[in-house]
Amino acid sequence: MRYKFLINALVELAPNHGVQIVGEDELDNIVWQDIPNPMPSDADIIAKCEALQAEYDAQAYARNRELEYPTVQELVVALYDEDDKAAIEAKRAEIKAKYPKP
């Protein structure tokens, strides 16, 4: 289980309850500062982690696009120059084709 998904799952399942993970990110290493009522089951935690992982995976195309999109500086320059604007639009179209939405 990935640490960030486990932490986010615990926060979503038991908001406003202190929790930490001691050692590896395993279910047996969860230490609650105050016990939530009801206590999330291991199955609930695993299901939430899997759902968070699926959400993250579904946005891979967006993360990839963001890395290759024009910078803010390039966009500002393109506002004043039609040739730059056309180049920016072409680059964005190329990136969208390279990383399509699922």
> What residues does each domain of the chain span?
3-58, 60-98
Contacts of 64 (CB under 8 A, 6+ apart): 98, 99
Contacts of 18 (CB under 8 A, 6+ apart): 32, 33, 34
pTM of the predicted model as reported, rounded to 2 decimal places: 0.71
- Phi and psi dihedrals of 24, rounded to 5? -65, 160
Per-residue pLDDT of the chain in tens (102 residues, 90 and over written 9): 588 899 899 999 998 888 888 877 688 888 888 888 889 999 999 999 999 999 999 999 999 999 999 999 988 888 888 888 888 899 999 999 999 988
User: So what's the pLDDT on residue 98?
Assistant: 95
User: So what's the pLDDT on residue 96?
Assistant: 94
